[in-house]
Structure 1
Amino acid sequence: MARIPKWRHSKSPYELFQLIVEDPRIPKKEISRKFNVNLKTAEIWWNHAVERRIIIPPIFRRKCYENFKEYFYFLNTDDPYKLYWKMQENKEITYSSVETGFANFFIIAKSPIEPEGDIVLEGNRSDYYVSIPPDHDFQTAIVKMRNKLKDLDSLEYFPSPLLSRNYDYEPWDEKDEAIFQSLCNDMRMPFSRLLKETDTYSDKIMKWFRGRDEFGHTITMFFPEGDSSYILLRYFIDTNNDSLLIDIFSELPTSAVFYRLGEMLVISMYLPFSLEGRMIVREALSTLKSEELVTFYTNSFVEYGYRPD
C-alpha cells in the first residue's frame, strides 16, 4: 500500500473537491480567488490533490439512452492475464479488468461482443449514481451506517436514480459526439484544445455544456488518503431497494459508484485495508438480507484494470 504524504496546506483537499463538484471546469484562477491565495499556491494545491489521487479529475459518462448503450460483461475465463492484453487491441473495448471472486474478468464495450469464457452477468448498464462522500473518516461512517441499519423504517425512500430508457436521446449529431469523445475522460480539457479537436464552434460547445445534465453524468471522485490506500471491491446485489442501499453506502468517505445490470444492483466501493473497514459492508448486507430487503449478494476484488486514453 502506497503511503500518501501528509496534506500540509491551509485548505483541505475536501474543500477543493467541493469546488470541483460545484463547477468541474472551474479555472485555477477562480480557485485562487475563492481561497484568497495567489494563483501559484492554488496550482500547487490542485496538483498535489491530483498527483496523490485524492481527487480524481472530472470525467463524463452518458446516461442510459438507446443510442448511448454500453455493453457490460462479467465472465470467468481460463486465462485472465492473456485476455487482459488481448482486450487492449480491440478498439470497441473502453475498459477491462482482472478480478477475483464472482467473476475473474470484466469488460465494457461500445458494441455487443462475444468474449472468451463463461459469462456470469451481462447487459446494458443503467444510469450511474456516484456518491459525494461526506467529510468524515471511516470510523464515523461505520457508526452512521450502523445507526441507519438499526432504524431502517426511519430512512426516507426515493425512486431509484438508476434509470434505463428504451428510446434515443435527441437531438444528437456528429458534433455532439465529437465533444463527448474529447471530454469523456477529461472534463477540464482547455477550451482552445476542445475547439481544435472537435472542429466545431464555441456556441455549440457552450450549448453542450449547459445541457449536459440531461444526457450524462459529470463524475468527480474523492479519496481522502489517495485511491491507492483503498481496495476496490464490486458488490453484486439482488434487491429492489436501490435508494436504501444508496443512502446507507453513501456514508462512506470514499466515492462509491452505483448502477444496474438487469435485476442486479452493482456497487463499486473503495474500502480501507483494515478488517473493520471491509466488514461493515458485509454487516450491512447481512442485516438487509435478514430484513428481506436484499435477496442475494456476492462480490469481486479488482486486481488491475485498463482504460484507453
Structure 2
Amino acid sequence: MVMRNSLSKFFLFSCLMIGLSAFAQVSSESLDSEEEMIKLKQDAVQAIVDAHDPTLILRGGELMVRQQVVKAAKNYALKWGRERGLGKEWWRDKPEFEQAVEHLIEIGDVVLRDEFTSGDWLTAIWTEYTANNFTGEQASYIAEHFKTEHGSIQRGLMEWYLGETTLFYYTFTDRWDYRLEETRKELELLQKEAAKRLPDEMITWKAGEKEAYTFIACSPDSDFCPGPKYWKMLAIPMMGAVFRYMEDTTRKIKSAMEAERDSLEPFFNAFEQSRE
C-alpha cells in the first residue's frame, strides 16, 4: 500500500513537471514570437522614418522660429529699455539698442540650436505617430512601397507639402515677415533646398502604374490600404505635434531671454552715458 502511494505521488509529480515544462516552452515560444513581432514593427517604423527627407520641414521651421527669436529680441529690448526710463530716444537707430537686440538674439539662437536644429525632436514625433497609428504589417507595406520608383516620388510629394504646411502655419497666423533682414540667411537656405526638391507638376498616376495607384486609390477604411491613412496622419495629427513643438521652442526662447533681462544693463548704461 505504501509502495502504491509512493508510485502514485511520483507519477503525479512527474506529470506535473512535464506539464509545467510544456507550458513554459509554449509560453517561451509565445513570448519569443511576440518580441519578434514587436521588433519587426519597430524596424518597419524606423524604415519609414529613415526613408523621409525632413529638410523642408526643418529648414522651414527653423526660419519661422528664428523670426520669432528676432522679433522677441527687438520687442524685449524696446520694452525693457522704455521701462528703464530711457524714453522715446531708445530706438532702433541707436547703436546701443542694436547691440542689446543682438545680445538677446544670441541667447535665443542657443536655445534654437539646442532644441530644434538637429531635428532629433522631429524624428521622435514621426516615429511616435507612425508606431501608434499602424500595425507592423501596415508599416512594413509603407516602408517597402517607399523603396519603389513611384513610392519614392509619392514620398517626395508628401515631404514637399509638409514643408509648405509649415510655412503656411506661420503665414496664416500673420507671423511671417519676408522683409526681416536678420533671417535672410535662413530664407535663402530654404529656397536653395526647396529648388532641389521642386515636384514635377505633370506627375499623374494611372491604373497601369499599379504600385502608385494602389497606394492612394483605395478605401482609407481598409486595413489593407494604409496609404491615404498615412498621408492623413502626416498632414493633421503629426503636423499638429510639429507645430506644438515649434511653439514650445519659441516659449523656451522667450523664457531664456527674460531670464537674462539684467544682462542688458551695460547697454542701457552706455546709452545713458551717450546722452550726457
Point out the structure with the larger strand share: 1
Question: Normalization by structure 1: what TM-score?
Answer: 0.19
* Larger RCO, structures 1/2 (Cα 8 Å, 6+ apart): 2
Question: Normalization by structure 2: what TM-score?
Answer: 0.21
Point out the structure with the larger helix share: 2
Q: Which has the larger radius of gyration?
A: 2
